Amino acid sequence: EQAQMAARETVAREMHDVLGHRLSLLSVHAGALEFRPDAPAEDVARAARVIRESAHQALQDLREVIGVLRAPVGELPQPTAADVPELVAESRRAGMRVVLRHEVEGAVPQTVGRTAYRVVQEALTNARRHAHGADVRVAVAGAADAGLAVEVVNDPPPLPCPHGEPGQGLTGLAERVALAGGRLEHGPTRAGGWRLAAWLPWPT
């Protein structure tokens, strides 16, 4: 029974992490089209392109999530720390203003890198949902023995954003980080933005 519960929790985390990022892109850009019917044609075309690409990728991601139910997670393609720059680039293409500082010495262990990727992914998803239009700064730095530090800070949004119903993203992320032996911190900044940070051990 405990094994079944652990398996369900793993699937739940994968579903949230993989699909939440894509669906937030769809939601933000669909909302922009709804509330800005007089937007310039170029903006409408860009939003429509992001929606189309995100919907297509969400279907691909869903197939991977379904694969979790049919095969051990370790057999599925998993993101690593090396994929963080592309994750940031994807957010930039969707219209977010994101600055990345990536200072990692050496090859990050797979489990540590995957957890770091999920931290950045969750932070970008939350910034997109709750601080649309705000500047975001992502920092990933570390080395063997010293550990890997991940920090994502977003400024306050230019306009008030609806918060909606609280989700389970941070809860699942805290579980991921704890399983990796790390620490997770999150909360508002003095400037009125939000900070999400994690430290992960990097064994040699």
- Give the pLDDT confidence of 68-99 residue by residue, as tens digits: 555 554 555 678 999 999 999 988 987 889 99
Residues 110 and 160 in one domain: yes
Q: How many domains does the chain have?
A: 2
Instruction: State the maximum Cα–Cα separation within the chain, in Å, rounded to a whole number.
Output: 56
- Give the pLDDT confidence of 166-204 residue by residue, as tens digits: 456 788 889 889 989 999 999 999 999 999 999 999 987
Domain that residue 110 falls in:
79-204
Residues 115 and 85 in one domain: yes
Residues 112 and 131 in one domain: yes
